[in-house]
Chains A and B, each alone.
Chain A
Amino acid sequence: MKIVSIAILGKKNNPLYVYVSNEENKRKFEYIIHTSLDFFEEKVPLISPLSKKSTQNQNDMYLGHLFPTEDYKVYGYLTNTNYKLVCIIDDSEIKEQEMKTLLNNLHTILVDTICNPFYITDEPITSKTFHLKILDLIGKK
Protein backbone atom coordinates (compact mmCIF):
# COMPACT_ATOMS: atom_id res chain seq x y z
CA MET A 1 0.00 0.00 0.00
CA LYS A 2 1.59 3.21 -1.04
CA ILE A 3 0.32 6.66 -0.26
CA VAL A 4 0.77 8.67 -3.36
CA SER A 5 -0.49 12.03 -2.26
CA ILE A 6 -1.86 13.88 0.73
CA ALA A 7 -3.53 17.25 0.60
CA ILE A 8 -5.05 19.64 3.09
CA LEU A 9 -7.57 22.17 1.88
CA GLY A 10 -8.88 25.12 3.81
CA LYS A 11 -12.37 26.36 4.44
CA LYS A 12 -12.62 28.11 1.11
CA ASN A 13 -11.20 25.09 -0.71
CA ASN A 14 -7.80 26.74 -0.96
CA PRO A 15 -4.89 24.29 -0.83
CA LEU A 16 -2.91 24.63 2.38
CA TYR A 17 -0.57 21.73 1.91
CA VAL A 18 0.06 19.20 -0.85
CA TYR A 19 2.43 16.29 -0.55
CA VAL A 20 3.23 14.18 -3.58
CA SER A 21 5.46 11.14 -3.45
CA ASN A 22 6.34 11.35 -7.11
CA GLU A 23 7.18 14.88 -8.25
CA GLU A 24 6.57 14.13 -11.93
CA ASN A 25 2.88 13.48 -11.48
CA LYS A 26 2.26 16.44 -9.23
CA ARG A 27 -0.06 18.19 -11.67
CA LYS A 28 -2.14 15.07 -12.10
CA PHE A 29 -2.60 14.60 -8.37
CA GLU A 30 -3.45 18.24 -7.88
CA TYR A 31 -6.12 17.79 -10.52
CA ILE A 32 -7.46 14.70 -8.76
CA ILE A 33 -7.58 16.59 -5.50
CA HIS A 34 -9.46 19.40 -7.16
CA THR A 35 -12.04 17.06 -8.61
CA SER A 36 -12.52 15.37 -5.24
CA LEU A 37 -13.89 18.64 -3.87
CA ASP A 38 -17.22 17.98 -5.55
CA PHE A 39 -17.48 14.70 -3.73
CA PHE A 40 -17.06 16.39 -0.38
CA GLU A 41 -20.15 18.43 -1.00
CA GLU A 42 -22.05 15.40 -2.23
CA LYS A 43 -21.22 13.21 0.71
CA VAL A 44 -21.80 15.71 3.49
CA PRO A 45 -25.64 15.92 3.55
CA LEU A 46 -25.83 12.12 3.56
CA ILE A 47 -24.27 11.86 7.00
CA SER A 48 -26.80 11.17 9.71
CA PRO A 49 -26.60 13.23 12.90
CA LEU A 50 -25.40 10.28 14.94
CA SER A 51 -22.47 9.31 12.81
CA LYS A 52 -19.00 10.68 13.28
CA LYS A 53 -17.50 13.40 11.22
CA SER A 54 -15.13 11.46 9.00
CA THR A 55 -16.32 10.83 5.51
CA GLN A 56 -14.98 8.09 3.35
CA ASN A 57 -14.74 8.86 -0.25
CA GLN A 58 -14.02 5.94 -2.54
CA ASN A 59 -13.88 7.40 -5.98
CA ASP A 60 -13.14 4.13 -7.76
CA MET A 61 -15.67 4.52 -10.47
CA TYR A 62 -14.88 8.10 -11.25
CA LEU A 63 -11.16 7.64 -11.43
CA GLY A 64 -11.57 4.43 -13.26
CA HIS A 65 -13.07 6.54 -15.98
CA LEU A 66 -10.26 9.11 -16.00
CA PHE A 67 -7.38 6.71 -15.63
CA PRO A 68 -8.25 3.45 -17.24
CA THR A 69 -4.68 2.19 -16.92
CA GLU A 70 -3.97 3.18 -13.31
CA ASP A 71 -5.72 2.52 -10.00
CA TYR A 72 -6.14 5.34 -7.53
CA LYS A 73 -8.34 5.49 -4.51
CA VAL A 74 -9.16 8.86 -3.04
CA TYR A 75 -10.18 9.17 0.58
CA GLY A 76 -11.60 12.32 2.06
CA TYR A 77 -11.98 13.62 5.60
CA LEU A 78 -14.00 16.69 6.48
CA THR A 79 -13.33 18.21 9.88
CA ASN A 80 -15.87 20.04 11.99
CA THR A 81 -14.10 23.26 11.19
CA ASN A 82 -14.38 22.73 7.42
CA TYR A 83 -10.85 21.66 6.72
CA LYS A 84 -10.68 18.99 4.03
CA LEU A 85 -8.07 16.26 4.10
CA VAL A 86 -7.52 14.24 0.96
CA CYS A 87 -5.45 11.08 0.69
CA ILE A 88 -4.67 9.30 -2.57
CA ILE A 89 -3.64 5.67 -2.45
CA ASP A 90 -1.87 3.66 -5.13
CA ASP A 91 -2.69 0.07 -4.29
CA SER A 92 -6.13 -1.34 -3.80
CA GLU A 93 -5.56 -3.30 -0.61
CA ILE A 94 -6.34 -1.20 2.38
CA LYS A 95 -8.58 -1.59 5.39
CA GLU A 96 -11.01 1.13 6.32
CA GLN A 97 -9.71 1.22 9.84
CA GLU A 98 -6.16 1.91 8.72
CA MET A 99 -7.29 4.81 6.60
CA LYS A 100 -9.38 6.19 9.42
CA THR A 101 -6.46 6.14 11.83
CA LEU A 102 -4.21 7.69 9.23
CA LEU A 103 -6.58 10.57 8.59
CA ASN A 104 -7.21 10.97 12.32
CA ASN A 105 -3.50 11.31 12.96
CA LEU A 106 -3.27 13.73 10.09
CA HIS A 107 -6.02 15.77 11.70
CA THR A 108 -4.12 15.81 15.00
CA ILE A 109 -1.01 17.09 13.26
CA LEU A 110 -3.08 19.74 11.49
CA VAL A 111 -4.61 20.94 14.76
CA ASP A 112 -1.13 21.18 16.29
CA THR A 113 0.01 23.32 13.38
CA ILE A 114 -3.04 25.57 13.54
CA CYS A 115 -2.46 26.14 17.25
CA ASN A 116 0.99 27.46 16.46
CA PRO A 117 0.74 31.19 17.25
CA PHE A 118 2.99 32.03 14.34
CA TYR A 119 0.71 30.32 11.88
CA ILE A 120 -1.71 32.61 10.10
CA THR A 121 -5.01 30.90 9.34
CA ASP A 122 -5.87 30.17 5.71
CA GLU A 123 -2.26 30.49 4.64
CA PRO A 124 -0.25 27.67 3.08
CA ILE A 125 1.53 25.57 5.68
CA THR A 126 5.25 25.99 5.23
CA SER A 127 6.45 24.54 8.51
CA LYS A 128 9.29 22.04 8.23
CA THR A 129 8.26 20.14 11.32
CA PHE A 130 4.83 19.71 9.80
CA HIS A 131 6.39 18.25 6.68
CA LEU A 132 8.58 15.93 8.72
CA LYS A 133 5.62 14.75 10.75
CA ILE A 134 3.70 13.98 7.58
CA LEU A 135 6.63 12.01 6.23
CA ASP A 136 6.81 10.11 9.50
CA LEU A 137 3.12 9.35 9.28
CA ILE A 138 3.49 8.05 5.73
CA GLY A 139 6.69 6.22 6.50
CA LYS A 140 5.00 4.16 9.17
CA LYS A 141 2.39 2.88 6.76
Chain B
Amino acid sequence: MSVSYSLLEQIIFESVHYVIRTVHSQSKVLDPEETNLRVKIATRFNEKEEKKKKEKEKGIEKDKEKKNENENQKENQQETVGNKKKDQENVPQLEFISSKTDIERNIINRLEIIGYRLGERTAERIAKNKPRFQEEVEKMRFVAKDIWTELFGKMVNNLRTNHQGKWMFQDDDFKLIRNISFTLSEELQNLNHQQNTRKNQQKQKQTTTTTNITMTESQKQILQSYLYIPCGIIRGALSAIGVECTVTGICEQLPACVFTAKIINKK
Protein backbone atom coordinates (compact mmCIF):
# COMPACT_ATOMS: atom_id res chain seq x y z
CA MET B 1 0.00 0.00 0.00
CA SER B 2 2.90 2.35 0.70
CA VAL B 3 3.93 2.12 -2.95
CA SER B 4 0.52 3.22 -4.09
CA TYR B 5 0.56 6.21 -1.72
CA SER B 6 3.80 7.54 -3.13
CA LEU B 7 2.55 7.16 -6.68
CA LEU B 8 -0.65 8.91 -5.82
CA GLU B 9 1.21 11.68 -4.11
CA GLN B 10 3.51 12.08 -7.08
CA ILE B 11 0.66 12.33 -9.49
CA ILE B 12 -1.21 14.82 -7.38
CA PHE B 13 1.84 16.93 -6.68
CA GLU B 14 2.88 17.02 -10.31
CA SER B 15 -0.53 18.05 -11.51
CA VAL B 16 -0.97 20.67 -8.82
CA HIS B 17 2.52 22.08 -9.31
CA TYR B 18 1.95 22.42 -13.01
CA VAL B 19 -1.34 24.13 -12.42
CA ILE B 20 0.03 26.49 -9.82
CA ARG B 21 2.94 27.41 -12.07
CA THR B 22 0.57 28.23 -14.90
CA VAL B 23 -1.76 30.22 -12.66
CA HIS B 24 1.04 32.35 -11.24
CA SER B 25 2.77 32.78 -14.56
CA GLN B 26 -0.46 33.88 -16.12
CA SER B 27 -1.31 36.24 -13.32
CA LYS B 28 1.99 38.00 -13.84
CA VAL B 29 2.11 38.11 -17.61
CA LEU B 30 -1.22 37.75 -19.26
CA ASP B 31 -1.41 35.58 -22.31
CA PRO B 32 -1.85 37.88 -25.32
CA GLU B 33 -4.45 35.59 -26.84
CA GLU B 34 -6.47 35.62 -23.64
CA THR B 35 -6.33 39.39 -23.46
CA ASN B 36 -7.44 39.67 -27.06
CA LEU B 37 -10.33 37.32 -26.37
CA ARG B 38 -11.30 39.32 -23.36
CA VAL B 39 -11.15 42.55 -25.28
CA LYS B 40 -13.36 41.03 -27.97
CA ILE B 41 -15.87 39.78 -25.43
CA ALA B 42 -15.80 43.13 -23.72
CA THR B 43 -16.37 45.01 -26.95
CA ARG B 44 -19.31 42.78 -27.80
CA PHE B 45 -20.79 43.41 -24.40
CA ASN B 46 -20.24 47.08 -24.87
CA GLU B 47 -21.94 47.01 -28.25
CA LYS B 48 -24.96 45.20 -26.88
CA GLU B 49 -25.32 47.55 -24.04
CA GLU B 50 -24.89 50.53 -26.29
CA LYS B 51 -27.71 49.28 -28.45
CA LYS B 52 -29.92 48.85 -25.43
CA LYS B 53 -29.15 52.33 -24.37
CA LYS B 54 -29.99 53.81 -27.72
CA GLU B 55 -33.41 52.26 -27.62
CA LYS B 56 -34.26 53.96 -24.31
CA GLU B 57 -34.56 57.60 -23.26
CA LYS B 58 -31.52 59.76 -22.79
CA GLY B 59 -32.14 60.59 -19.16
CA ILE B 60 -32.23 56.93 -18.19
CA GLU B 61 -29.15 56.33 -20.31
CA LYS B 62 -27.13 58.77 -18.33
CA ASP B 63 -28.14 57.18 -15.05
CA LYS B 64 -27.17 53.75 -16.34
CA GLU B 65 -23.79 54.92 -17.44
CA LYS B 66 -23.13 56.30 -14.03
CA LYS B 67 -24.18 53.03 -12.43
CA ASN B 68 -21.91 51.05 -14.72
CA GLU B 69 -18.98 53.24 -13.81
CA ASN B 70 -19.65 52.59 -10.15
CA GLU B 71 -19.82 48.88 -10.83
CA ASN B 72 -16.49 49.05 -12.59
CA GLN B 73 -14.92 50.72 -9.61
CA LYS B 74 -16.30 48.01 -7.36
CA GLU B 75 -14.93 45.33 -9.67
CA ASN B 76 -11.51 46.88 -9.54
CA GLN B 77 -11.56 46.90 -5.77
CA GLN B 78 -12.65 43.32 -5.49
CA GLU B 79 -9.93 41.90 -7.70
CA THR B 80 -7.26 40.45 -5.47
CA VAL B 81 -4.44 40.13 -7.98
CA GLY B 82 -3.05 43.55 -8.78
CA ASN B 83 -1.68 42.88 -12.24
CA LYS B 84 -5.09 42.37 -13.70
CA LYS B 85 -6.00 46.02 -13.33
CA LYS B 86 -4.88 46.79 -16.86
CA ASP B 87 -7.16 44.17 -18.23
CA GLN B 88 -10.11 45.42 -16.28
CA GLU B 89 -9.96 48.76 -18.02
CA ASN B 90 -10.55 46.93 -21.28
CA VAL B 91 -13.39 44.87 -19.77
CA PRO B 92 -15.53 47.51 -18.17
CA GLN B 93 -19.04 46.21 -18.44
CA LEU B 94 -19.64 42.62 -17.44
CA GLU B 95 -22.96 41.25 -16.40
CA PHE B 96 -21.59 39.51 -13.33
CA ILE B 97 -19.01 40.46 -10.76
CA SER B 98 -16.47 37.70 -10.17
CA SER B 99 -13.48 37.67 -7.91
CA LYS B 100 -11.72 34.89 -9.83
CA THR B 101 -10.82 34.94 -13.48
CA ASP B 102 -12.09 32.46 -16.03
CA ILE B 103 -8.72 30.76 -16.23
CA GLU B 104 -8.61 30.16 -12.50
CA ARG B 105 -12.13 28.87 -12.42
CA ASN B 106 -11.39 26.54 -15.28
CA ILE B 107 -8.35 25.17 -13.50
CA ILE B 108 -10.22 24.84 -10.22
CA ASN B 109 -12.94 22.92 -12.03
CA ARG B 110 -10.48 20.56 -13.60
CA LEU B 111 -8.67 19.91 -10.33
CA GLU B 112 -11.95 19.25 -8.61
CA ILE B 113 -12.99 16.80 -11.30
CA ILE B 114 -9.71 14.93 -10.95
CA GLY B 115 -10.45 14.55 -7.24
CA TYR B 116 -14.06 13.65 -7.97
CA ARG B 117 -13.20 10.77 -10.22
CA LEU B 118 -10.55 9.58 -7.79
CA GLY B 119 -13.00 9.65 -4.90
CA GLU B 120 -15.70 7.87 -6.86
CA ARG B 121 -13.48 5.01 -7.86
CA THR B 122 -11.84 4.48 -4.49
CA ALA B 123 -15.28 4.54 -2.88
CA GLU B 124 -16.47 1.84 -5.28
CA ARG B 125 -13.53 -0.35 -4.47
CA ILE B 126 -13.72 0.03 -0.74
CA ALA B 127 -17.50 -0.03 -0.39
CA LYS B 128 -17.57 -3.42 -2.03
CA ASN B 129 -16.62 -5.11 1.19
CA LYS B 130 -18.59 -2.94 3.55
CA PRO B 131 -22.05 -3.57 4.92
CA ARG B 132 -24.83 -1.41 3.62
CA PHE B 133 -24.99 2.17 4.86
CA GLN B 134 -28.19 2.92 6.67
CA GLU B 135 -27.75 6.48 7.80
CA GLU B 136 -25.99 9.63 6.73
CA VAL B 137 -23.65 9.37 9.71
CA GLU B 138 -22.37 6.03 8.53
CA LYS B 139 -21.71 7.39 5.08
CA MET B 140 -19.73 10.33 6.45
CA ARG B 141 -17.81 8.02 8.74
CA PHE B 142 -17.03 5.83 5.76
CA VAL B 143 -15.43 8.76 3.98
CA ALA B 144 -13.68 10.03 7.09
CA LYS B 145 -12.24 6.67 8.07
CA ASP B 146 -12.00 4.29 5.16
CA ILE B 147 -11.30 6.61 2.26
CA TRP B 148 -8.86 8.69 4.27
CA THR B 149 -6.91 5.66 5.48
CA GLU B 150 -6.83 4.25 1.98
CA LEU B 151 -5.54 7.44 0.40
CA PHE B 152 -3.63 9.21 3.15
CA GLY B 153 -2.74 6.55 5.68
CA LYS B 154 -4.65 8.05 8.57
CA MET B 155 -8.18 8.89 9.62
CA VAL B 156 -9.73 12.30 9.81
CA ASN B 157 -9.08 13.73 13.25
CA ASN B 158 -12.44 15.33 13.83
CA LEU B 159 -15.81 14.90 12.18
CA ARG B 160 -18.45 17.42 13.14
CA THR B 161 -21.92 18.36 11.98
CA ASN B 162 -24.37 21.14 12.56
CA HIS B 163 -27.27 18.70 12.10
CA GLN B 164 -28.53 20.82 9.24
CA GLY B 165 -26.70 19.23 6.35
CA LYS B 166 -23.19 20.56 7.02
CA TRP B 167 -20.36 18.20 7.83
CA MET B 168 -16.81 19.22 8.65
CA PHE B 169 -13.81 16.93 8.20
CA GLN B 170 -10.86 18.21 10.17
CA ASP B 171 -7.45 16.78 9.51
CA ASP B 172 -4.74 18.09 11.84
CA ASP B 173 -1.89 16.82 9.73
CA PHE B 174 -2.99 16.70 6.14
CA LYS B 175 -0.58 14.61 4.17
CA LEU B 176 -0.72 16.51 0.90
CA ILE B 177 0.33 19.86 2.36
CA ARG B 178 2.43 18.77 5.28
CA ASN B 179 5.77 19.37 3.64
CA ILE B 180 5.02 22.67 1.98
CA SER B 181 7.25 25.57 2.93
CA PHE B 182 7.10 29.12 1.72
CA THR B 183 9.97 31.23 0.46
CA LEU B 184 9.64 34.85 -0.48
CA SER B 185 10.07 34.90 -4.19
CA GLU B 186 10.11 38.10 -6.16
CA GLU B 187 6.64 37.43 -7.51
CA LEU B 188 5.19 37.18 -4.06
CA GLN B 189 6.95 40.35 -3.06
CA ASN B 190 5.48 42.18 -6.01
CA LEU B 191 2.04 40.80 -5.26
CA ASN B 192 2.21 41.89 -1.66
CA HIS B 193 3.56 45.29 -2.58
CA GLN B 194 0.69 45.96 -4.93
CA GLN B 195 -1.86 44.64 -2.48
CA ASN B 196 -0.36 46.88 0.17
CA THR B 197 -0.39 49.97 -2.01
CA ARG B 198 -3.98 49.46 -3.11
CA LYS B 199 -5.11 48.81 0.43
CA ASN B 200 -3.32 51.92 1.60
CA GLN B 201 -5.02 53.97 -1.06
CA GLN B 202 -8.39 52.69 -0.02
CA LYS B 203 -8.01 52.89 3.71
CA GLN B 204 -5.45 55.69 3.89
CA LYS B 205 -3.58 53.90 6.63
CA GLN B 206 0.05 52.98 6.70
CA THR B 207 0.88 50.37 9.29
CA THR B 208 3.74 47.94 9.25
CA THR B 209 1.60 45.07 10.53
CA THR B 210 -0.28 44.80 7.23
CA THR B 211 2.70 43.15 5.56
CA ASN B 212 2.45 40.11 7.83
CA ILE B 213 -1.24 39.66 7.17
CA THR B 214 -0.93 39.92 3.41
CA MET B 215 1.85 37.38 3.47
CA THR B 216 -0.35 34.77 5.03
CA GLU B 217 -3.23 35.71 2.79
CA SER B 218 -1.20 35.10 -0.30
CA GLN B 219 0.09 31.92 1.26
CA LYS B 220 -3.47 30.87 1.87
CA GLN B 221 -4.30 31.58 -1.73
CA ILE B 222 -1.50 29.32 -2.86
CA LEU B 223 -2.44 26.64 -0.38
CA GLN B 224 -6.01 26.85 -1.57
CA SER B 225 -4.94 25.40 -4.91
CA TYR B 226 -3.73 22.25 -3.17
CA LEU B 227 -7.04 21.72 -1.47
CA TYR B 228 -9.23 21.41 -4.55
CA ILE B 229 -8.28 17.83 -5.26
CA PRO B 230 -9.15 16.56 -1.76
CA CYS B 231 -12.43 18.48 -1.95
CA GLY B 232 -13.15 16.62 -5.14
CA ILE B 233 -12.20 13.34 -3.53
CA ILE B 234 -14.71 13.85 -0.75
CA ARG B 235 -17.41 14.93 -3.16
CA GLY B 236 -16.77 11.96 -5.44
CA ALA B 237 -16.77 9.42 -2.64
CA LEU B 238 -20.00 10.78 -1.19
CA SER B 239 -21.74 10.91 -4.55
CA ALA B 240 -20.73 7.29 -5.20
CA ILE B 241 -22.48 6.33 -1.97
CA GLY B 242 -25.46 8.47 -2.87
CA VAL B 243 -24.99 11.79 -1.07
CA GLU B 244 -24.93 14.88 -3.26
CA CYS B 245 -22.99 17.75 -1.76
CA THR B 246 -20.62 20.64 -2.33
CA VAL B 247 -17.25 20.59 -0.61
CA THR B 248 -14.96 23.47 0.27
CA GLY B 249 -11.58 23.34 1.94
CA ILE B 250 -9.84 25.86 4.18
CA CYS B 251 -6.35 25.80 5.62
CA GLU B 252 -5.68 28.10 8.54
CA GLN B 253 -2.45 26.71 9.93
CA LEU B 254 -0.14 24.85 7.68
CA PRO B 255 -0.65 21.15 8.32
CA ALA B 256 -4.22 21.42 9.58
CA CYS B 257 -7.13 21.86 7.23
CA VAL B 258 -10.88 21.62 7.36
CA PHE B 259 -13.15 20.37 4.60
CA THR B 260 -16.79 21.37 4.78
CA ALA B 261 -19.40 19.34 2.96
CA LYS B 262 -22.83 20.88 2.47
CA ILE B 263 -25.44 18.35 1.52
CA ILE B 264 -27.75 19.30 -1.32
CA ASN B 265 -31.31 18.37 -0.41
CA LYS B 266 -33.51 17.58 -3.35
CA LYS B 267 -37.01 18.24 -2.12
Could you list which residues of chain A lie within 8 angstroms of chain B, going by C-beta atoms? 11, 47, 49-53, 79-82, 107-108, 111, 114-115, 117, 121
A81–B131 touching, CB < 8 Å: no
* A interface majority secondary structure: loop
A11 to B133 Cα, complex, angstroms:
15
User: Given A11-B242, A49-B134, A53-B132, are A81 and B127 also a contact pair (CB < 8 Å)?
Assistant: yes
A80–B133 touching, CB < 8 Å: yes
**B121-148 Cβ-contact flags toward A at 8 Å (1 or 0):** 1011101101111100000000000000
**Looking at the complex, which one of A47, A52, A81, A115 makes contact with B241 (CB distance below 8 Å)?**
A81
Q: Which residues of B contact A114 (CB under 8 A)?
A: 120-121, 124
**Looking at the complex, which one of B120, B131, B132, B133 makes contact with A121 (CB distance below 8 Å)?**
B120
Interface size class on chain B is: 10 to 19
**Distance to closest chain A CB from B232 (angstroms):** 14
**Looking at the complex, which one of B117, B123, B134 makes contact with A81 (CB distance below 8 Å)?**
B123
User: Given A11-B242, A49-B134, A80-B241, are A108 and B128 also a contact pair (CB < 8 Å)?
Assistant: yes
Q: Which residues of A contact B240 (CB under 8 A)?
A: 81
User: Given A80-B133, A82-B242, are A115 and B128 also a contact pair (CB < 8 Å)?
Assistant: no
A-B contact pairs, 18 of them (CB 8 A): A51-B131, A51-B132, A52-B131, A52-B132, A53-B131, A79-B128, A80-B132, A80-B133, A81-B123, A82-B242, A107-B128, A111-B124, A114-B121, A114-B124, A115-B121, A115-B125, A117-B117, A121-B120
**B82-123 Cβ-contact flags toward A at 8 Å (1 or 0):** 000000000000000000000000000000000001001101
Q: Which residues of B from 169 to 225 have beta carbons under 8 Å from A?
A: none
Closest residue of chain A to B132 (Cβ to Cβ) is: A53
A85 to B30 Cα, complex, angstroms:
52
Query: Known pairs A51-B131, A52-B131, A80-B127. 10 more at Cβ < 8 A?
Result: A49-B132, A51-B132, A79-B127, A79-B128, A80-B130, A81-B241, A81-B242, A114-B121, A115-B121, A115-B124
B127–A49 touching, CB < 8 Å: no
